Structure 1
Amino acid sequence: MYIGKSYKLSEFIIWTRKSIYVLLVISIVPTVLYEVFDLKWLGISWTVVALLGTATAFIVGFKNTQTYNRTVEAQQIWTFILNTSRSWGIMSRDFVNDPEKSKLLIYRHFAWLTALRYEMRSYRIWEASQKKHNAEYQQFYYVIPENEISLEDELSKFLSPEELEYILKTKNKATQIMALQSKTLKKLFDDEEIVLLQFVDFQRTIKDFYAQQGRSEQLKDSPYPRQYAIINTLLVHLFCFLLPFGLLKEFDKMNDTVTGIAQGNMVWLVIPFSVIISWMYTSLGQVGESTENPFEGNANDVPISQISKIIEIDLREMLGETDLPVLAEAQHNIVL
């Protein structure tokens, strides 16, 4: 998540420079053919291009709205996990009289958070994090915590060797860690270490965690609909290709209204104006693409690693611990 006031224009241009290079070529070629080789038939009606641009703007706007909604939903899920985790910490400390068993429940919760965030950071084929412009940006501006240390090493901080060995063999590790929590609570209830109402509260909280885990997994495993994604890409590419052809005659007409050095040379303005307008569309598409998967490891991700660390600090303090982990500092105003 970017927490600065604004991205720098230089960063944004560097991030989108590949598109700018392509747009320059698309703009230069028809302009040179029209002006130097006198291929006047290349100029097409501006009305056609304008209608296509309007349709493209609607499609791009629709996509960006939907991708932003996906990010908002992800923020809501992990905010709920944050708040409910604090409740879990309080219940684990105050409902259970044995400090070691309270610590077991809380540390195992850290393991659940760890397994869940590692799963959310795993790669899906439709994600954009490994595209060249995103991978290059990540290489120079920030680090993904889940890439720095293995899941096994992280889980070993919170689980016993026996539980760690068992969990590493399972397919959905977060699900099975929470199942261990339920098993422990059942034993506490059977041993009359907690009463019925406390057991019910614990189980209700587990149900809430499972619900939010499911929502998080659904967002991760359900991409922005591919049929909308492809039509968005096709329309943007088609508009950017046709735009300079539609501007040729419009700028050529301006030669009759200017004097001096500009007269007879107005067509060359097609190149910068075509690049600027097309860049606006391609950049909106690139921003939408980097926003649609809120857990993939892009700069605009929901900061699930930071949220997990905040939960760990809060719950450790509830246990009276003083040797607390340190929140990672933002790198170039980016927090994951």
Structure 2
Amino acid sequence: MHAGRNFTLKETLIWTKGNILKFTIISAIPVILYDTLGFTAIAVPWLPIALIGTAVAFLIGFKNNASYDRLWESRKIWGAIVNTSRSWGIMVKDYINSDFAGEKLPDDQLHKIHKRLIYRHIAWLTALRYQLRTPRNWESVVHNKANRKYMEKFPAPEINGSLQDELKIYLSDEECSSIANKQNAATQIIALQSDDLRELRRRDLTDDFRHMEMERLLVDFYTHQGKSERIKNYPFPRQYATINLFFVWLFILLVPFGMLPEFEKLGGNFIWLTIPFSVLVSWVFHTTEKIGEASENPFEGSANDIPITALSRTIEIDLREMLGEQDLPESIKTTNNILF
């Protein structure tokens, strides 16, 4: 997520510089053919091109709205994870005690239980964000050279990190081994939480109502995880993304041919203004389309994604403070104005 005031013009031009060069070449060729070599028959009336441009604008608008919906839904999901995680911390501290047991547990033993449940939840967050950062074939970081280079220069922490090394911080060796070969580590960690709650209920360290409330939160975590996985694993429909891109490039290729007769009417060498104005129109349409593409996959770790690493760290700090810990990790800072 870009955490600065806005993208600078320089950043935007760097992001689109490769396409600007393509637009310049595409625009220059018809002008040279028309004015220098005398192929005047290549001029096209502006009206049909304008109609195509109108249709392209509608398609781009539809795609961008749909892409933004995916992005905003992802942010709402992780906002819910933040709130539910804090609720989990409160319930762990207040619902797990020896009020119902025949024998009171010492405070240090209760603290170990609280720490185990809270640290295991942080492990779930860690496993989930690693799974969401795993590249998919349709994501822009895979097929877009500029995005890939940016990711190599400013990678999200999960790209070069090790899930197993991080899980060792929060889980016991036995628990790490039990989920090491599982396809969905996050799912199995929630299952471990449920097993632990069942054992605590058996020991009368909580009552039926509190046990059910905490199990309900685990179900909520599964719901949030499932919603995140749906967005991660189900791409923006390829038919819309593909046809939209075809139409954008069709319009870009036709723009200079339609501008030729318009600038010729001005006389003199004004026909060469076809090049910069065609580049400008092409740049606006194509960049608008790229904005939608950049919002399609909000978990890949690019500059426009949901900052799930920073949100996870915020949750970790909050929960560990509930445990009374003082040696806390630092909040995630921006890198090049980007918050991962």
Partner AA of 1:249 in structure 2: P
Counterpart mapping for 1:290-329 below 5 A:
290-329=294-333
Mapped contact 1:68–1:292 kept (Cα < 8 A): yes
Mapped contact 2:2–2:338 kept (Cα < 8 A): yes
Counterpart mapping for 1:191-206 below 5 A:
191-206=203-218
Hey, what's the Cα distance between the residues in 2 that align with 1:11 and 1:137? 12
Deviation at 1:311, TM superposition (A): 0.4
Hey, what's the Cα distance between the residues in 1 that align with 2:327 and 2:277? 58
**1:175 paired to 2:179:** no
Partner AA of 1:322 in structure 2: Q
**1:248-279 C-alpha deviation (Å, 9 max, x unpaired):** 01111121xxxxxxxx1111000000000000
Aligned to 1:158: 170
Hey, what's the Cα distance between the residues in 2 that align with 1:54 and 1:45? 15
Deviation at 1:231, TM superposition (A): 1.1
Partner AA of 1:67 in structure 2: S
**1:163-218 C-alpha deviation (Å, 9 max, x unpaired):** 10111111111000000000000111111110011101101100100001000000
Aligned to 1:134: 147
Mapped contact 1:122–1:296 kept (Cα < 8 A): yes
Mapped contact 2:128–2:186 kept (Cα < 8 A): yes
Structure 2, unpaired ranges of 5+: 98-109
Partner AA of 2:57 in structure 1: A
TM-score norm. by structure 2 comes to 0.95
Q: In the comparison of the two structures, how many residue pairs are matched? A: 327
Task: Give the alignment partner of residue 221 of structure 1, picking from 233, 236, 252.
Answer: 233
Identity fraction in percent:
47
Aligned to 1:53: 53
**1:264-295 C-alpha deviation (Å, 9 max, x unpaired):** 11110000000000001111111111111000
Structure 1, unpaired ranges of 5+: 256-263
Mapped contact 2:309–2:332 kept (Cα < 8 A): no
Mapped contact 1:129–1:290 kept (Cα < 8 A): no
Partner AA of 2:335 in structure 1: Q
Counterpart mapping for 1:280-291 below 5 A:
280-291=284-295
Partner AA of 2:126 in structure 1: T
Aligned to 2:39: 39
Hey, what's the Cα distance between the residues in 2 that align with 1:320 and 1:290? 41
Aligned to 1:25: 25
SS in structure 1 opposite 2:141?
coil
Aligned to 1:5: 5
Pairwise CA RMSD of aligned residues?
Answer: 0.9
Deviation at 1:143, TM superposition (A): 3.0
Mapped contact 2:89–2:319 kept (Cα < 8 A): yes
Hey, what's the Cα distance between the residues in 1 that align with 2:150 and 2:290? 13
**1:212 paired to 2:216:** no
SS in structure 2 opposite 1:156?
helix
Hey, what's the Cα distance between the residues in 2 that align with 1:244 and 1:118? 46
Mapped contact 1:15–1:137 kept (Cα < 8 A): no
Partner AA of 1:208 in structure 2: D
Hey, what's the Cα distance between the residues in 2 that align with 1:37 and 1:180? 75
SS in structure 2 opposite 1:251?
helix
Task: Give the alignment partner of residue 234 of structure 1, picking from 221, 227, 246.
Answer: 246
TM-score norm. by structure 1 comes to 0.96
Aligned to 1:268: 272
Hey, what's the Cα distance between the residues in 2 that align with 1:70 and 1:27? 35
Partner AA of 1:124 in structure 2: R
Hey, what's the Cα distance between the residues in 2 that align with 1:244 and 1:138? 34
Hey, what's the Cα distance between the residues in 2 that align with 1:148 and 1:213? 23
Hey, what's the Cα distance between the residues in 2 that align with 1:100 and 1:331? 36
Aligned to 1:81: 81
Aligned to 2:103: none
Partner AA of 1:230 in structure 2: T
Deviation at 1:14, TM superposition (A): 0.7
**1:99-137 C-alpha deviation (Å, 9 max, x unpaired):** 111111000000100000000000000000132111223
Runs of at least 4 residues of structure 1 off by over 6 A? none
Hey, what's the Cα distance between the residues in 1 that align with 2:194 and 2:53? 56
SS in structure 1 opposite 2:251?
helix
Hey, what's the Cα distance between the residues in 2 that align with 1:38 and 1:237? 26
Aligned to 1:258: none
